[in-house]
Chains A and B, each alone.
Chain A
Amino acid sequence: MANLSTDILVIGGGSTGLGVLRDAALRGFRVILVEKGDLAHGTTGRYHGLLHAGGRYAVKDPVSARECIQENRILRRIAADCIEDTGGLFVITPWDDPAYGDAFLRGCAACGVPAEEISPADALRREPRLNPGISRAFVVPDAAMDSFKTLWANARDAQTRGAQVLTYHRVMRLLTQNGAVAGAVVQNVRTGEERAIGADFTVNASGAWAGQIAAMAGLRVTVLAGKGIMIAMNHRLVQMVVNRCKLPSDGDIIVPIRTVCVIGTTDVRVPDPDEYDIEPREVQLMLEEGEKLVPGFRQARALRVWAGVRPLYQEHRPDEVVDTREVSRTYTLLDHPLRDGVQNFITITGGKFTTYRQMAEVTMDAVCRDLGVERPCTTAQVPLPDSEAGRYYWLGARLASREKTLHQDQLICECELIARHRLEEAFVARATTDLDDIRRTLRLGMGPCQGGFCIYRATGILHALRTAPPSSEAPGLREPSSPGTPALAPHREANSALVRFLQERWKGVRPLLWGDQLRQARLDDWIFQGLLDAEHLPQ
């Protein structure tokens, strides 16, 4: 396939990379983003959904705290549709140091984080499930922010401004020319096909994988991978983000997001960002800590557990750091022309979802400086698509939109209220036959039944799209064909999509199989093995 050329190549399809993509597109650059998996496939799609107000870092990491509150205000303005304005609470439970409350208030004041103390009785009125033994409570402007939606909005906006996004494209090597990086050779991981992308400037925004990319330019960049596990519970046990008021630790945040709430998280250094397990004791720890904030937490139904890896930049030798929580949560920009004498190459890593826009801004400021051009950043002013009206997302939004088509369209996923036409559009728009890509786009199969019903339907619809005769009205779904790689027959593609999804879901529920979620898994076994016999499909 033809080689490409562009002004700026962005490596990494997480929040940082997408932020850079949009920032660059708004500044009028030609820009291409490559990602080895799907967008949000890495850390961004595996976070709890918290838009920080900065309170969490106000005592220990004031730089982070200031960045958070500043970005919190900007994102509320430009990305309202991706945010549910839940508000946040910090509470002192019987397990926490009561004196920390004053340190917390002082820290918040010093960092400009609005924090208002309310009485425990008031806090319990707002959040009746909270531990009645709390001694102090503080309200901060935390919110819930949907990382998938934010990424799609950034990608969509950049694409309308001419940017290109290549998912499932892995960087094989960086192109170099006279001591400068000049783009990359990328491989389509589905077809095996390689192509070169020539670029005036290359931005390494690959998060926990940034060290691997920098090494391709012969540079030593140490990024520690800090694994954190999160568990989604079947209900919104709380309606506000609830934080333990203490120094950041394990299992001390519960975030209500969409129809669930997510408890997080842990922080364990792992040697390889692609290889890690979820240990039963980590799961038990989340339940124990959850119980301290919300008594009865353990009896609630746990839907799915996953882990993400934080990128934590480390300027020193990797063996010097024992506890990854001691590494600052602020981000790091490595200007390789200055740092290493390698031109046209920048690494941006560390940081957190809340500050993704600011990370993109400083990155593109540095790129402009290195290129000797002056093009100001506008991402703090120009709203993302669907956020122009400045209206926050609300919990009933999907139901409200579903009700409009109640009598015209089938409901394919009852848990997440996904109508058939939306599913068909997503298959075609994303040109994918991977049901997990659709899960990230529409939340298909993310509800209580974990795909028990909708995945069979989605498989049938996927097959129908793949076999539909070409017509302008129904564009159908064709794999991007390429010479030498025959596409799978539609039935094999559908069967493999089904089986892959079942396996992917199993990975997320396996550590949580007890109580009602085990019953649900058994019902799904009943359906997929007992009734459909999916194990014996032709593959």
Chain B
Amino acid sequence: MTYDVIVIGIGLAGLTAGVHLAQAGRRVLMLAKGVGGTHLGSGTIDVLGYGDELIERPAAAFPDFLAARPDHPYARTGLPALRAAAAWFLRTLEADGYPFAGSLEDNLLLPTAVGAVKPSALVARTMAAGDLRSGGQVLIVGFRNLKDFYPALLSDNLAHARLPDGAGVSARSILVDPPGLADEADLSPLDLARAFDRPDFRAALAADVRPQLRPGERVGLPAVIGLRDPLAAWQDLEGRLGAPVFEIPMLPPSIPGMRIFERLDRALRAAGARVHIGFPVIEAHVARGRCTGVTTGGAARSYTWRAQHVVLAAGGIASGGIVAESDGTVREAVFGLPVVGRPAPESPRFLPGYFDRHPFNRVGLAVDDSLRPLDSGGRPVIINVRAAGAMLAHAEPWREKSGDGISLATGYRAANSILEEPR
């Protein structure tokens, strides 16, 4: 059978493109080597947090940001596509019981697990009370046997944070034993998240924490408040504590990211898409400038899949979508598409300081406004292939705090560009 669209990659960009296309009635096949960036990130939708300085109002900052970066992926989609994608995302997640807060107008400032203050546009409602823009009092609660969360360091840094309007945060921390799990020497965040799904666990925890709570304090916890039904778990905990509660994302695996993945995956299947994870694409079939299908490898045997269109969302260098070799060559892994943004052979690829702006960090695919990868002459290379997400050149997502927004906007735009074509 021939699919309407094959989507390669199941990070946020691939999920966005796939769900949007499937909901529009297209027959969609998702092919992925493994789960994607959702499981690594913070589970927030960071749209634009830093240009040269901290950005408080992302939508308003777009024109200046893009004027200085005319090749940025956002310049291909424009702000309207990002707005439409964000609205779609908020709708889709809310419909599955995991509502988000925030907008593209203002960034919230949320504490990170080390106690820095990071700008995010859209955040799960379970995180929203962590917004520090107006300061306030927070109590950070950690678990004695959880090695990936250090409440004392976190609160110490928050207490010394410099916030835009000169607002200050009063922060302190406590360590508690997770009820019933105190004997686990090396507590897994997943086990903890599953425990939070149980009312008796939440009741026992609240009984321990509530007497230590001071009036006016908001309570910050690691982002493990429930895996199955985080909204209910969070609401219940707020009720039992009588105070606002917020989650703080931890190191991978990201439980908030897994919640997003689970819901978009469910949306895919509900809209009739087929999802194959563990199916790395090992060969692409291209004839006369069109892709006719791809072949996947995997544990059992190889399969060849046919489709009218392909959305390539295999991720950047971190995910293996873009590969750099020891001899200096850089290639796109599936189609061998031209990679742009490489520094000249004799100029440095990386600079001496870790936080420097490294020239090599912006390599990726150049695309047109339909997100079709381009050759050096500016012509689409394969007419029915579109690229989205971290594969695109000229962005520095972890520095700009823009990766989630780029994935949403380009995944959505790639899907729309296919929907605009006659079937």
Contacts and interface: CB of A to CB of B under 8 A. Distances in A.
A298 interface: yes
B114 A456 contact: yes
B41 A457 contact: no
Contacts of A494: 153, 156
Contacts of B149: 460
A515 B326 contact: yes
A527 B118 CA distance: 13
Interface string A452-480: 01001101110110010000000000000
Contact of B42 (A461, A491, A507, A531): A531
Interface stretch (B20-28, B76-84, B396-404): B396-404
B161 A530 contact: no
Interface in B362-403: 397-399, 401, 403
Interface in A72-95: none
A410 B116 contact: no
B145 A410 contact: yes
A535 interface: yes
Contact of A527 (B145, B252, B397): B252
B251 A467 contact: no
B324 A538 contact: no
B112 A513 contact: no
A298 B326 CA distance: 7
A531 B397 contact: no
Nearest to A535: B355
B147 A513 contact: no
B357 to A, nearest CB: 11
B157 A536 contact: no
A495 B251 contact: no
A297 B213 CA distance: 58
B88 interface: no
Contacts of A126: none
Main secondary structure, interface of A, reads helix
B228 to A, nearest CB: 24
Interface string A77-121: 000000000000000000000000000000000000000000000
Nearest to A463: B153
B215 interface: no
A523 B115 contact: no
A503 to B, nearest CB: 5
Interface in B107-158: 112-118, 145, 147-150, 152-153, 156-157
Given A513-B324, A518-B324, A538-B157, A459 B114 contact: yes
A490 interface: yes
Interface string B4-35: 00000000000000000000000000000000
Contacts of B156: 463, 467, 490-491, 494
B353 interface: yes
Nearest to A298: B326
A502 interface: yes
Contacts of A529: 355, 398-399
Nearest to B329: A514
A534 interface: yes
Interface in A381-407: 405-407
A395 to B, nearest CB: 23
A272 to B, nearest CB: 18
A236 B77 CA distance: 47
A464 B150 contact: yes
Given A407-B185, A514-B326, A526-B41, A456 B115 contact: no
Contact of B147 (A410, A507, A530): A410
Contacts of B87: none
A365 to B, nearest CB: 46
Contacts of B113: 456, 531-532
Contacts of A302: 326
A409 B183 CA distance: 10
Contacts of B285: none
A45 to B, nearest CB: 21
B185 A409 contact: yes
Nearest to A530: B398
Contact of B317 (A299, A406, A518): A518
B58 to A, nearest CB: 16
Given A510-B350, A538-B157, A531 B150 contact: no
B160 A531 contact: no
Given A412-B147, A463-B150, A525-B398, A491 B112 contact: no
Contacts of B186: 409-411
Contacts of B161: 538
A459 B153 contact: yes
Interface in B338-366: 349-350, 352-355, 360
A518 B37 CA distance: 16
A430 B54 CA distance: 39
Given A491-B153, A538-B162, A530 B397 contact: yes
A453 B354 contact: no
Given A494-B153, A529-B399, A522 B317 contact: yes
Contact of A491 (B157, B326, B354): B157
A464 B152 contact: yes
Contacts of B118: 533, 536
A410 B156 CA distance: 23
A519 B321 CA distance: 10
B336 interface: no
Interface in A300-323: 302
Contact of A530 (B114, B117, B150, B401): B401
A515 B252 contact: no
A522 B316 contact: yes
Nearest to B153: A463
Q: Identify which of B46, B149, B160, B319 gathers the most chain A CB atoms within 10 Å of its CB.
A: B160
Interface in B63-122: 112-118
Q: Identify which of A298, A467, A502, A518 gathers the most chain B CB atoms within 10 Å of its CB.
A: A518
B220 interface: no
B249 interface: yes
Nearest to B110: A533
B318 A526 contact: yes
A297 to B, nearest CB: 10
A532 B150 contact: no
B320 interface: yes
Given A467-B152, A502-B354, A531-B41, A519 B320 contact: yes
Given A456-B114, A494-B156, A536-B54, 14 more contacts: A410-B145, A459-B114, A463-B153, A505-B354, A519-B317, A525-B398, A526-B37, A526-B40, A529-B399, A530-B42, A531-B41, A532-B113, A532-B114, A538-B157
8 closest Cβ pairs, A-B complex: A460-B150, A530-B398, A522-B318, A506-B354, A491-B156, A533-B116, A463-B153, A529-B398
14 contacts: A407-B185, A412-B147, A456-B251, A460-B149, A491-B115, A510-B350, A513-B350, A515-B325, A522-B317, A527-B252, A534-B114, A534-B116, A535-B355, A538-B162
